[in-house]
Amino acid sequence: VLWRLFAACLLASQDQKCLSKTVQPCGWLCAHKAETANSLFGMGNPLLDISAVVDKDFLDKYSLKPNDQILAEDKHKALFDELVKKFKVEYHAGGATQNSIKIAQWMIQEPHNVGTFFGCIGKDKFGEILKQKAKETHVDAHYYEQDEEPTGTCAACITGDNRSLVANLAAANCYKKEKHLDLEENWKLVEKARVYYIAGFFLTVSVESILKVAKHASENNKLFCMNLSAPFICQFFKDSLMQVMPYIDVLFGNETEATAFAKEQDFETEDIQEIAKKAQALPKVNKKRQRIVVFTQGKDDTVMGDKIETFPVLKIDPKDIVDTNGAGDAFVGGFLSGLVQEKPLDQCVKAAHYSANVIIRRAGCTFPEKPDFK
Ligand SMILES: Nc1ncnc2c1ncn2[C@@H]1O[C@H](COP(=O)(O)OP(=O)(O)OP(=O)(O)O)[C@@H](O)[C@H]1O
Ligand SMILES: *[C@@H]1O[C@H](CO)[C@@H](O)[C@H](O)[C@H]1NC(C)=O
Ligand SMILES: *[C@@H]1O[C@H](CO)[C@@H](O)[C@H](O)[C@H]1NC(C)=O
Ligand SMILES: *[C@@H]1O[C@H](CO)[C@@H](O)[C@H](O)[C@H]1NC(C)=O
């Protein structure tokens, strides 16, 4: 077995790093030449998650429903500072794409910095905390820091089992290709990656950045992955989405998003498997890879693959479900960890179901120290 590994290693890579790994006990890594720093690239809206147990007065003051997800309006601007002043808060590095990269890194564990993340933040206190929090997750975050808008935040106002989320994109909306992605040291990190992931939300921020990364992936036969992210993306950012679609190798979405997408594309079906087939058949630039469509359906089977098969999720007793927020992000993170380790698709989906199952047992998008997944 060792010899076979060694031979595979020689074939797979000529580089010294890999050779030196084979003589060490961790030589197994060579079978997955994948697990090197910066091999997974993500770009999106970085948010500092601020969560606290609050009281009803606080919800009322900002007219928040106990269970909701909204974008901050002017009347919420003071909410974030007040939350920090009045309550005991917890901070986490957040935002959909950053969460997924974080979870992929957690699934992989070693080495650190397998995941790279780009996004825009402000030069402020929340930005400093976000940088620190990202570092703690061992993701190699390189933020474009500007001083016109403050760092994006997402407040989780918890009352009992309820949580009211208020997101303020702020600086996240200000990512600029020429100010960050195009810079040589940043672009080098993009080139180092072999798997790319950008949530559909980023279509509202910088389509040209997405296209630059997508084209690079396609031209070099690397994997470009995207997420439909929300019905409004399929609807109101349809043109941008369809500009990027020909470069998408792996398309994620949940059933609601899939249905919204199908409606916009006049697929004339609401059947998730039929929608997956039609999305898979949409024009594609890199002909060396067939598109893979992955649609989740909450507690129901995930739909995926060349032949569009279904894969059951991990069973969970409903009373063990604490908070399904972030289930989708976690699913994607687990899946990406499999892709970057060059595991077969059925293993990627298993990893995805595992990480989603871990996250829904916990409040927010948090996880224990180590995964228990092989
Ligand atoms: N009720 C549930 N029982 C078991 N697994 C679940 C349940 N809800 C979510 N999951 C897990 O999480 C994955 C993603 O769930 P879902 O399709 O609900 O994503 P989502 O709606 O995008 O989540 P969110 O937007 O809340 O992050 C599922 O494929 C499954 O593995
Ligand atoms: C949680 O919200 C529901 C309604 O969404 C409400 O009935 C319940 O009382 C709330 N619980 C707490 C502790 O606020
Ligand atoms: C799918 O995600 C959307 C957000 O894009 C959410 O509103 C919806 O409830 C989710 N659907 C299911 C079935 O979980
Ligand atoms: C991304 O994809 C997952 C899994 O298919 C889905 O559940 C989720 O709602 C999507 N959205 C985001 C923002 O990750």
CATH number at residue 275: 3.40.1190.20
Establish if 64 belongs to a structural domain: no
Pocket of ligand 2 (CB under 6 A): 66-67, 159-160, 162
Mean pLDDT, to the nearest integer, of 225-243? 96
Q: Which of 34-38, 73-77, 262-266 has the lowest mean pLDDT?
A: 34-38
How close is the Cα of 66 to the center of ligand 2, in Å?
Answer: 6
Give the C-alpha distances (Å, rounded to integers) separating 201 from 164, 206, 323, 352, 363. Answer: 20, 10, 22, 20, 23
Res 300: pLDDT: 97
Secondary structure element (H or E) that encloses residue 314, with its range: none
* 259 close to ligand 4 (CB < 6 Angstrom): no
Which of the ligands is closest to the CA of residue 68?
A: 2
**Residue in 102, 201, 296, 324 to alter for ligand 4 test, most ligand atoms within 8 A of Cβ:** 296
Answer for the pair 205, 241: CB distance below 8 angstroms, yes or no.
no
Calpha distance 250→348 (Å, rounded): 12
Give the C-alpha distances (Å, rounded to integers) separating 355 from 134, 330, 373. Answer: 19, 6, 9
Mean pLDDT, to the nearest integer, of 58-66? 96
Establish if 70 belongs to a structural domain: no
Pocket of ligand 1 (CB under 6 A): 254, 296-299, 302, 313, 316, 321, 324-329, 331, 353, 356-357, 360
* pLDDT band of 316, cuts 50, 70, 90: very high
Give the mean pLDDT of the chain: 91
Rounded percentage of the chain residues whose pLDDT exceeds 70: 90
Structure tokens at 68: 């909701």
Calpha distance 22→19 (Å, rounded): 5
Q: Which domain holds residue 329?
A: 34-47+94-151+169-359
Res 267: pLDDT: 97
**Which protein residue has the closest C-alpha to ligand 2 atom 13?**
160
* Number of domains making up the chain: 1
Which of the ligands is closest to the CA of residue 54?
A: 2
Best CA proximity match to 331, nearest among 369, 297, 374: 297
Calpha distance 334→352 (Å, rounded): 4
Establish if 373 belongs to a structural domain: no
pLDDT in tens, 190-208: 999 999 999 999 999 999 9
pLDDT in tens, 236-292: 999 999 999 999 999 999 999 999 999 999 999 999 999 999 999 999 999 999 999
pLDDT in tens, 80-95: 999 999 999 999 999 9
Establish if 232 belongs to a structural domain: yes
Establish if 27 belongs to a structural domain: no
How close is the Cα of 354 to the center of ligand 4, in Å?
Answer: 15
0.85 cut: is pTM over it? yes
Secondary structure (H, E, C), 316-361: CCHHHCCCCCCHHHHHHHHHHHHHHCCCCHHHHHHHHHHHHHHHCC
Establish if 10 belongs to a structural domain: no
Mean pLDDT, to the nearest integer, of 63-86? 95
Establish if 67 belongs to a structural domain: no
Point out the ligand 4 atom lying closest to the alpha carbon of residue 328.
Answer: 7
* pLDDT band of 374, cuts 50, 70, 90: confident
Structure tokens at 17: 């790093």
Res 211: pLDDT: 98
> Which residue numbers are catalytic?
329
Res 6: pLDDT: 46
DSSP 37: T
Establish if 65 belongs to a structural domain: no
Calpha distance 344→336 (Å, rounded): 12
